[in-house]
Structure 1
């Protein structure tokens, strides 16, 4: 007798009947927290103090996740989201909460994560020094818009992906983008649909530089000349610099049109840049390089890091995960000897070029994998001060070299407080004390939390 496999029902994904739940707080991801039959329930979109109707979408042994169906008793802090694409587009998830309360929530979440995941069990008011904030809208100077081609409709969608999905939500504006970028979405969406090779288009990256707007269009195949001409006319009309990027990451500038000169190696594409340190530092970057998307917050963040480190002439300061010199270059203005280390070779080259353009001869940049053994690195040795700006994974591996470096003070800029909290264990082990902590609201209207911490060697 033949036997056929019948998959078991996934009980953890089964929907429940409607439940009425009282939300008592928010978790660090911005979801409302309630309790049902002794089990913690997380409800995205719900706010503390609300009574809501919800439905389980996932159940585990110790917790459950629920979908918000209706807010029956709203919080006083609830507001109407200003974006009509909210909850469809995956860009923002906190527009329903007043911005000042978003900041307060992030500050509380930051302290709770430090106390829960690190050896530090108390963060007093003297340590938590405040927030680095910006305007809550039109703050993003860079964005990557996804494309999705619908073969049946012969239509290309341009927008952002919906939460946890590959589905692209078509948009014609975005109020968290800088206004010049938001205004480009609708005309680009219309123009890209006119191209013959629209099935060969990837993402569109928009960047607001200090003095221009750039658009980088990813292409999987070479475009026909008629399409290129169409795009050149569009770029001229919109007054943007337009580049194509192929599968190998190579950039071709379409507009403004470059003159071709044989054997002229200086015929390079001018790079976008931003200014720091009261416009004394020009920081250039290549499209695709990492730069902080919130210009207002970045400037304040750099100023605070320098204030906390208090660099002095003659000191040796190490900047790990330095990128294109966002912190290193302004630090070098203080006449200290600055060493920047970065894991991406192209960014090291760009950082060195930036130092040259800014006339800084007291700074050197090195390439190194900062998650590997650093003992043979020429720059590793006694330093006076240390700055860290790692990716989400944190700086655990390189902090194990603190014994060789012995900095008096360390500024740690974190885009993931959970990894910061983990790394505090290493810092405490080597005798460092947390003396200042600041919440950084790099991404208003989202749950994303960033932080800056100052650690000083106990004497």
Structure 2
């Protein structure tokens, strides 16, 4: 029988006695679901087909939540999580489920939530975009916490729904070279006299090298800087400081930004610490290629790329001869996108900054277009899609990191005369319940 980590009980809630329940399905967050006394009980860590021993920790009128205590009979899809920190770390939540089963669950969850909102069946569902399930993250932000009693600096990820830092020695979803840096980095950071001045730590594996970015709240003394420089030299990484104002200081390595390539190396995009990029480089390249295929860009078409970031889709669109306008809400990324366009020789590619949840009626870029691409944050693109009548694209490609907001926004597109013709899972985050999706909507003739 598997034994699980037991969180400290919440004294403000009355806990139930132990129950033995049959798990029948997973919810959209990957928690097991079992029926008990006429309501659904949600059990993180449990899998369909399992009998589990649980304790109720929260009861509502229509549902309850429970803590998994023991697995009495295990699912055939259950595996032993390879990460030694899995029980405490809040980064991954599905390492106990085989990778193939994870993808089946995600595809089914995507199909179900779209079907409930749009009535569209499985005919539109394409093969998922998948790659290696381990060591895929090219970027991660680690938290630091100085223990006041021991004066030890803890380096790791936050525990789930907590500010507590779980110290880690490795991370099997992080690029191997970055994972190998964690343990020696924790040692050198604990040797610093000014370790109380350290904030988060960002690790980046880019196509032009590895980068370590240290957030500092105050300048470090010369001896500390010397230790960090020696660490960077030994591990052949670029080391940067970022201060409270966001200013960068290069302590070791060439003064350059990390870069990644697209289109078989034909395009190169730079990004600054803090800029958003997709963390799974292999899947991102496949996703960009699929977006270009589905949109079927023709030379001279006017294409609007909303939530464009640093130009992840804008530059590939422009490389196919389209007249592209990218719009982004974060000023720093607008400036970086413009720099990326110039670096890659796209003189006509234009980028604008705008709050895409606000009134867009006076924006100079809003008008008739041929095709629309959206890659919004988890909140979705509902407000932007309200301007469809003014844009009138024949095709809309929606890249989503939240199936719930995609389902909501799909209703607006259908009501505007569009048909969902292609839908596919993008498994950007293996070992977690999180998934991206791509949906193509075409204007009905």
TM-score (norm 2): 0.96
1:336 deviation in Å? 1.0
1:83 deviation in Å? 0.6
Aligned to 1:65: 65
| Distance (Å, rounded) in 1 between the aligned partners of 2:19 and 2:283 | 41
Q: Deviations over 1:192-240 (max 9, x none)?
A: 0000011111110000010200000011111111111111111111111
Aligned residue among 321, 329, 351 for 2:307: 321
| Distance (Å, rounded) in 2 between the aligned partners of 1:450 and 1:131 | 10
Q: Name the SS of the counterpart of 2:75 in structure 1.
A: coil
Pairing of 1:230-269 with structure 2 (within 5 A): 230-256=227-253, 269=255
Name stretches of at least 5 consecutive residues in structure 1 with no aligned partner. 1-9, 259-268
| Distance (Å, rounded) in 1 between the aligned partners of 2:299 and 2:412 | 29
Aligned to 2:201: 204
Name stretches of at least 5 consecutive residues in structure 2 with no aligned partner. 1-9
| Distance (Å, rounded) in 2 between the aligned partners of 1:122 and 1:291 | 31
Aligned to 2:159: 162
Aligned to 2:385: 399
Q: Deviations over 1:124-181 (max 9, x none)?
A: 2x30011011100000000001001012111001011111111111111111000110
| Distance (Å, rounded) in 1 between the aligned partners of 2:278 and 2:84 | 26
Aligned to 2:6: none
| Distance (Å, rounded) in 2 between the aligned partners of 1:344 and 1:438 | 28
| Distance (Å, rounded) in 2 between the aligned partners of 1:11 and 1:429 | 49
Aligned residue among 106, 130, 151 for 2:127: 130
Aligned to 2:106: 106
The alignment covers a number of residue pairs equal to 436
Pairing of 1:358-369 with structure 2 (within 5 A): 358-369=344-355
- Compared with structure 1, are the counterparts of its residues 321 and 241 closer, same or farther at alpha carbon in structure 2 (3 Å cutoff)? same
Aligned to 1:331: 317
Aligned to 2:142: 145
| Distance (Å, rounded) in 1 between the aligned partners of 2:149 and 2:21 | 43
**CA RMSD, Structure 1 to Structure 2 (Å):** 1.2
Aligned to 1:410: 396
1:12 deviation in Å? 8.4
Aligned to 1:38: 38
Verify the 8 A CA contact 1:26 1:47 in the aligned structure 2. yes
Runs of 4+ in 1 over 4 A off after TM superposition: none
| Distance (Å, rounded) in 2 between the aligned partners of 1:458 and 1:12 | 55
| Distance (Å, rounded) in 1 between the aligned partners of 2:65 and 2:402 | 23
TM-score (norm 1): 0.93
Aligned residue among 257, 261, 285 for 1:275: 261
Q: Name the SS of the counterpart of 1:278 in structure 2.
A: coil
| Distance (Å, rounded) in 2 between the aligned partners of 1:150 and 1:129 | 49
Verify the 8 A CA contact 1:12 1:60 in the aligned structure 2. no
Aligned to 2:13: 13
Verify the 8 A CA contact 2:120 2:420 in the aligned structure 1. no
| Distance (Å, rounded) in 2 between the aligned partners of 1:350 and 1:332 | 16
Aligned to 1:87: 87
Aligned to 1:451: 437
